[in-house]
């Protein structure tokens, strides 16, 4: 089973839920940090990193000695990553989506592929929890290719928990796609409700089962619960605003390590998700 932990905005507690859930399950679990622009699962999980791998994406390299400047490469590129200006051809690797279309349509065979570094993948483990995350290269604009690389390490024999990026844009879709269930983490505030609605719309377009976790549940208002009831979305867990939890977080400590009684609560969350998936 693949469980994605997502939210419509940052700072709601996605990583808190993902890490504590993974550590509570313990054995036969995998945690993938797909927030490659700002990965922070490792700060709480403290895994032992065993493998590091550079990730590159193919981009076009033009041999101008062969190029006839016919412009077919520019015509097929929907992202303006290659342009022909008279007898000058320009490529913009940062805009390339690595589809390979320009190379296929070139009648002169003047286009080959070269690599552009996207970032690195790091793999490790902690007490039976298999860990993978990506680190996007500074200045790199497109994270989905690196996210897909992180997702490629999914081990079907394990429970896989994905810490998705915040928001509802392409990186989030790339992270959640193919999941069995999405835990939407929110907080009971007007901003939290607004972004939760956006996240629910995205998940429903993908047709993925979902439920809500309300963090800092005893502050704000009841509008999130009212929305969940109206939309028939189950609220699977509530985490109160707690000084002890905040102190543990500020130390980079997991809730289940600082407050062991919470381990059963996260295990119960896992069992509720399993039940909903099995009933679908």
For the chain, the domains span 2-55+122-279, 64-109
> What would the pLDDT profile of 138-189 be if each residue is shown by its tens digit?
988 889 999 999 999 999 999 999 999 999 999 999 999 999 999 999 999 9
> In the prediction, which pLDDT does 10 show?
86
Model pTM score: 0.89
What pLDDT was estimated at residue 205? 94
Sign of CA pseudo-dihedral 167, 170, 175, 177: positive
> In whole numbers, what is the pLDDT of the chain averaged over residues?
95
Structure tokens at 78: 């929907």
CA angle 107, 108, 110 (to 5 degrees): 120
The CATH number of 64-109 is 3.30.70.20
Question: Which tens digit of pLDDT belongs to each residue from 72-115?
Answer: 999 999 999 999 999 999 999 989 999 999 999 999 999 999 99
Residues 6+ apart with CB under 8 A from 204: 210
pLDDT digits (tens, 9 = 90+) for 220-270: 899 999 999 999 999 999 999 999 999 999 999 999 999 999 999 999 999
| Shared fold status for 2-55+122-279 and 64-109 | no
Tokens of 224: 């999130």
Question: How confident is the model at residue 38, as a pLDDT?
Answer: 94
What is residue 140's predicted lDDT score, i.e. its pLDDT? 87
Q: Is residue 9 scored above 90 in pLDDT?
A: no
Tokens, residue 80: 């303006």
Which residue(s) pair with 55 in the sheet? 119
pLDDT digit string (tens) for 30-42? Answer: 999 999 999 999 9
Q: Is the pLDDT of residue 280 over 90?
A: no
Using one digit for the tens of pLDDT, what is the confidence trace for 178-193? 999 999 999 999 999 9
pLDDT value, residue 223: 95
Of 128 and 196, more confident? 196
Residue 273 scores a pLDDT above 90: yes
- The whole-number pLDDT of residue 278 equals 95
The pLDDT assigned to 27 comes to 85
By the 8 A CB rule, do 111 and 102 touch? yes
Tell me which fold the domain 2-55+122-279 belongs to. Answer: Rossmann fold (3.40.50)
What confidence score (pLDDT) does residue 11 get? Answer: 87
Determine how β-strand 82-85 pairs with β-strand 88-91. Answer: antiparallel
Residues 130/30, Cβ–Cβ less than 8 Å: yes
């Amino acid at each position: 089973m693949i469980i994605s932990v997502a939210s419509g905005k940052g700072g709601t507690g996605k990583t808190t839920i993902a890490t504590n859930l993974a550590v509570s399950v313990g054995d036969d679990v995998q945690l993938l940090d797909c927030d490659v622009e700002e990965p922070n699962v490792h700060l709480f999980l403290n895994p032992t990193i065993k493998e590091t791998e550079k990730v590159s994406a193919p981009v076009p390299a033009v041999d101008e000695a062969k190029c006839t400047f016919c412009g077919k490469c520019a015509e097929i590129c929907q992202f303006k990553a290659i342009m022909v200006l008279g007898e000058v051809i320009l490529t913009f690797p940062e805009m390339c989506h690595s589809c390979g279309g320009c190379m296929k349509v070139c009648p002169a065979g003047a286009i080959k592929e070269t690599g552009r570094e996207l970032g690195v993948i790091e793999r490790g483990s902690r007490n039976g929890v298999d860990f993978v995350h990506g680190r996007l290269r500074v200045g790199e604009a497109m994270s989905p290719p690196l996210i897909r690389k992180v997702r490629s390490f999914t081990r079907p024999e394990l429970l896989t928990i994905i810490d998705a990026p915040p928001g509802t844009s392409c990186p989030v879709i790339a992270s959640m796609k193919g999941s069995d269930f999405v835990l939407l983490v929110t907080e009971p505030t007007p901003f939290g409700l607004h972004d939760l609605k956006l996240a629910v719309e995205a998940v429903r377009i993908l047709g993925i089962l979902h439920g809500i976790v309300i963090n800092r549940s005893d502050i704000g208002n009841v509008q999130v619960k009212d929305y969940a009831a109206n939309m028939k979305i189950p609220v699977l867990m509530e985490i109160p605003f707690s000084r002890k939890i905040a102190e543990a977080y500020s130390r980079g400590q997991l809730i289940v390590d600082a407050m062991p009684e919470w381990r059963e609560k996260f295990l119960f969350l896992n069992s509720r998700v399993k039940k909903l998936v099995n009933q679908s």
